[in-house]
Structure 1
Amino acid sequence: MDWLTAPDYDVARIVLQRGIAGVYLVAFVAVWHQFPALLGERGLLPVPEHLRRSAGRAGPTLFRWRYSDRLLRAVAVTGIVLAASVVVGLPQTGPPWVPMVVFLTLFGLYLSVVNVGQVFYGFGWESLLLEAGFLAAFLGSDEVAAPVTVIWLFRWLVLRVELGAGLIKMRGDPCWRDLTCLYHHHETQPMPGPLSWFFHHLPRPLHKVEVAANHVTQLLVPFLLLAPQPVATVAAGVVVVTQGWLVLSGNFAWLNWLTMILAFSAVGDGALSTVVPGTAATDAHGPLPVWFGVVVLVVTALLVVLSWWPARNLLSPRQAMNASFNRWHLVGAYGAFGSITRRRDEVVVEGTDAADPFEAAGWREYVFRGKPGPTGRLPRQWAPYHLRLDWGMWFLALGSPSQHVWFTRFLQRLLEADPATLRLLAVDPFDGGRPTWVRARVFRYRYSTWAELRRTRQWWVRREVGVLVAPATLADLRRLR
């Protein structure tokens, strides 16, 4: 079945398999560290409660029959070990069924997590990782050349990611069409990075150039991924460079990192070797096993059929963003930031151990790991790691009703000084002790100017604009449930 192979894509397969596995490794590390506190047996949105309410609507998941934090941690450890094995290249040295089994296991385990993750796992890049992992299962091993249909399915995935993001912008906020969105976006994005302050203060004409370049990359370049070599490799390079720019400007979990990895599906060995001599693989491949070729063709046919819904979505004036058309999260619709917020509100959570909650000097602030808090703290680089609680706090500040249920329970856990919850934070001002009262105030944040930064050494300027939760005790919050 040599007609089914793409022998000029060895480097692409190496990057795809190891890169996707690397992202799975990060994702399962986050499951280990964050899932029990957020969604575990005593989590903010406990999985057992969700499964009882959903009555089978949760989608395929191992936890449908039984959930426990111990089982969850076993899933996380298994995912970490399997993903690490691919990163170092162990399964790839065997026959094609070995990496296939490993990637399908990674897919199944992470699907089990996502389908019970509720709002904490309701992000488009979860589906993107699942779809990428499923496709990677059929790339074969070092014994055979990569199947050409799988390479093309990866390119179709990148096209949907980029074109979907471009179209949702052009159909959405007018600031994308007048090229002014970046006047605000670096300041108001969910989780700024260490360079975001500097990106925000770039000259406004350069911001317009950034937006225009983004439109070219997302609306025109994706089609060049389907062109013959070396055009496809050049287009992939453009995608990698622009996604790298986004990595520098903010923390968007693994969205940009994974997109860069997927773009390598368009990088041919021959075209790459002309730019970087010695990078093309020269090992001869054996014949593609008939059984594996049949499996690849069946999977290809299935994914082509499933492509009808996202293709129709791309053409629809009512385009859905980050939509899954099936419970397996295969062949979905992607996109980001169809609208841009013009101001940044942050929920600041505080506690006090004073008997009187109106003693102003007694309140101390809980500091989150990634979201803006103290005005003198420069944001850190977290991506591709995903701080799910911090992202939830950004949506909470936007007024999203779906966030309030877990937030009330979060405040309860602070009053209980729950160790698992406190480990999600950067600073517990009570060092493991129990506060008497908690409250949540809303502050309007903006970046300091160059002059303010030189004078005050503060990256942010903030002022109080409201109260989300008035001072409350544990008994007060329990009555709200």
Structure 2
Amino acid sequence: MTGGWSPGEAGWWGSWFWGPDYDVAREVLQRGTAAVLVVAFVVVVRQWRPLLGERGLLPVAGFVARTSWRDGPSVLRWRCSDGFVVGLGWCGAVLAALLVVGVPQRGPWWLTTLAFLLLWAAYLSVVNVGQRFYGFGWESLLCEVTFLVGWLGSSGGGAAPPLLVLLAARWCLFRVELGAGLIKLRGDRAWRDLTALDYHHETQPLPGPFSWHAHHLPRWWHRVEVAGNHVTQLVVPFALFAPQPVASVAGGVVVLTQAWLLVTGNFAWLNWLTVVLGLGVVSDGAWAALGSWLVPALGAGSVPDGGGSGLGGPVALVVAVVAVSVLLLVLSVRPARNLVSRRQLMNASFEPFRLVNAYGAFGSVSRRRDEVVVEGSTARSPGPDDWVEYAFRGKPGDVSRRPPQVAPYHLRLDWQMWFLALGSPGTRWFEVLLLRLLEADGPTLRLLGADPFAHDPEGPAPRWVRARVFRYRFTTRAERRRSGDWWVREERGTLVDPVDLVRLRRLLGPPG
């Protein structure tokens, strides 16, 4: 034995720096985050051109010209052609898929770290120029978690994951849950009087296949839902930092509540990524205890035994983790202050690299659901019966169509249509959408559920488009038995009067 200190020895350093009881947590955090990244980059590949590309609804080239690197660091400020961004998306999806199956993790720790840092830089580059189509809290959450899990080391190196990084992941989950709980209490009265779930399942942005059923659960159950949400988001987060097995139980509670949200709504990857963070709190010992209870009943094989990796690890990883932890600690000051502020910000980033952010969801709940319905007509002088409705992939339209399951995939256009119906400012993107429909633009039409004019004998493009506003509500049980419909709707007014291609081009003026 040598006389000097070695990071591979299970001495005083290993006893607090490494987490030998969190091998499963590392695998879940890294592979789970990578799986979400696969979806996120596939969304880039499929939706970039029609939304943000050269002929997109909000072309990035104009945004880049109006802003600077300090407003949002991005490699797309150097080059943002459609081909480059789609290629970046494919590279990101492939690299993330390799992490899902554990290929980089078989090598040294720095290879896994490098892979996640490349993914973080690539996705951050998209988010920082994505404007309103990337203005969601889960975009910052994905950036933050991607950066974090890259510092957990690799299973191939034989070292346990660093505890400082595991604690940083819990701090992230703490802000996600507590931030959402506090913004609700400080926001809408419906959260305080326990009535929020009387409306939410029906008025949420993209209801799912079981949202109708959840909406029609008894009122007393909705009160239980809200009360349970308050406990999970206002009390349970503090237990994430308790000793084991209390922390594992807290993580399990978060996972169970997120599972209910997965069943009853479509919030892109917000709930999926929160589930990953919740499972990342569970220790190997807790998995072993759960397995010993489940395996006899299932007749299954082995479960994690909690033995874990060794306490040692490379000196370079130790130095890097300490440096990153100090950086994250400094950047946590403003998000921590935001949590206790009466003017709490929801889904805010305090620095352009999105390393430590503020989170929150549904500080207010809509009581009514309005939808913008877009229609086209090939008639020269259309009458009331000459209009055909464009069907979107996720948002309500046809009253007989059951709300689909789309999450974790993110239908960015459908989400913006929900904000549009709420009166969201800045509607040029919607006017450009109408223009692209009049042009029968292929990439734009592929964002929709179906093109009603694809086989029209009058031609593939409408002569006119218009937009009307309808008030939607779920059918009652009796109405559904009678009609088979999931929705009832009534017209509330006109958002855009009938307009043709020539007039709309004149109104919009030059591109950009």
Match of 1:316 in 2: 341
Match of 1:352 in 2: 377
**1:362 positional shift:** 1.2
What is the CA deviation profile of residues 298-350 of structure 1, one whole-angstrom value per residue up to 9, with x for unaligned ones?
Answer: 00000000000000000001100000000001110000000001000000000
Match of 2:37 in 1: 24
Answer yes or no: is the 8 Å Cα contact 2:21–2:307 preserved in 1: no
- Structure 1 residues 400 and 198: CA distance shift in structure 2, 3 A: same
**1:11 positional shift:** 0.5
Answer yes or no: is the 8 Å Cα contact 2:20–2:307 preserved in 1: no
Whose Rg is larger? 2
SS in 2 for 1:421: helix
- Following the alignment from structure 1 to structure 2, what is the Cα–Cα distance between the partners of residues 209 and 39? 42
Match of 1:272 in 2: 287
SS in 2 for 1:43: coil
Match of 2:446 in 1: 423
**1:58 positional shift:** 4.0
Match of 1:244 in 2: 259
Residue 466 of structure 2 is aligned to residue 414 of structure 1: no
Letter in 2 for 1:234: V
Match of 1:214 in 2: 229
Pick from 89, 94, 97: which aligns with 1:84? 97
Match of 2:4 in 1: none
Letter in 2 for 1:259: T
- Structure 1 residues 56 and 479: CA distance shift in structure 2, 3 A: farther
- Structure 1 residues 43 and 58: CA distance shift in structure 2, 3 A: farther
Residue 191 of structure 2 is aligned to residue 176 of structure 1: yes
Match of 1:145 in 2: 160
Letter in 1 for 2:473: R
SS in 1 for 2:372: strand
- Following the alignment from structure 1 to structure 2, what is the Cα–Cα distance between the partners of residues 176 and 456? 33
Pick from 461, 464, 477: which aligns with 1:437? 464
Q: Tell me the percent identity.
A: 60
Letter in 2 for 1:351: G
Give unpaired runs (5+ residues) of structure 2. 1-6, 8-13, 293-302
SS in 1 for 2:415: helix
Residue 403 of structure 2 is aligned to residue 379 of structure 1: yes
SS in 2 for 1:6: coil
Q: In angstroms, what is the RMSD of aligned CA positions?
A: 1.0
SS in 2 for 1:399: coil
- Following the alignment from structure 2 to structure 1, what is the Cα–Cα distance between the partners of residues 211 and 349? 31
**1:286 positional shift:** 7.0
- Following the alignment from structure 2 to structure 1, what is the Cα–Cα distance between the partners of residues 203 and 68? 38
Answer yes or no: is the 8 Å Cα contact 2:18–2:311 preserved in 1: no
What is the CA deviation profile of residues 92-119 of structure 1, one whole-angstrom value per residue up to 9, with x for unaligned ones?
Answer: 1111001100000000000010011000
Answer yes or no: is the 8 Å Cα contact 2:20–2:308 preserved in 1: no
Pick from 297, 301, 310: which aligns with 2:326? 301
TM-score using structure 1 length: 0.98
Match of 1:369 in 2: 393
- Following the alignment from structure 1 to structure 2, what is the Cα–Cα distance between the partners of residues 280 and 203? 43
Answer yes or no: is the 8 Å Cα contact 2:195–2:223 preserved in 1: yes
- Following the alignment from structure 1 to structure 2, what is the Cα–Cα distance between the partners of residues 181 and 309? 29
**1:281 positional shift:** 5.3
What is the CA deviation profile of residues 2-61 of structure 1, one whole-angstrom value per residue up to 9, with x for unaligned ones?
Answer: 241111000000100000000000000000001111000110000101111224454110
Letter in 2 for 1:381: Q
**1:283 positional shift:** 5.7
- Following the alignment from structure 1 to structure 2, what is the Cα–Cα distance between the partners of residues 470 and 196? 33
Give unpaired runs (5+ residues) of structure 1. none
Pick from 472, 475, 478: which aligns with 1:448? 475
SS in 2 for 1:414: helix
Which of structure 1's runs of 4+ aligned residues deviate more than 3 A?
A: 55-58, 280-286
**1:447 positional shift:** 0.4
- Following the alignment from structure 2 to structure 1, what is the Cα–Cα distance between the partners of residues 181 and 467? 36
Answer yes or no: is the 8 Å Cα contact 2:244–2:283 preserved in 1: yes
Answer yes or no: is the 8 Å Cα contact 1:25–1:79 preserved in 2: yes
SS in 2 for 1:317: coil
TM-score using structure 2 length: 0.92
- Counterparts of residues 154-233 of structure 1 (less than 5 Å): 154-233=169-248
**1:401 positional shift:** 1.0
- Following the alignment from structure 1 to structure 2, what is the Cα–Cα distance between the partners of residues 265 and 194? 29
Letter in 1 for 2:364: S
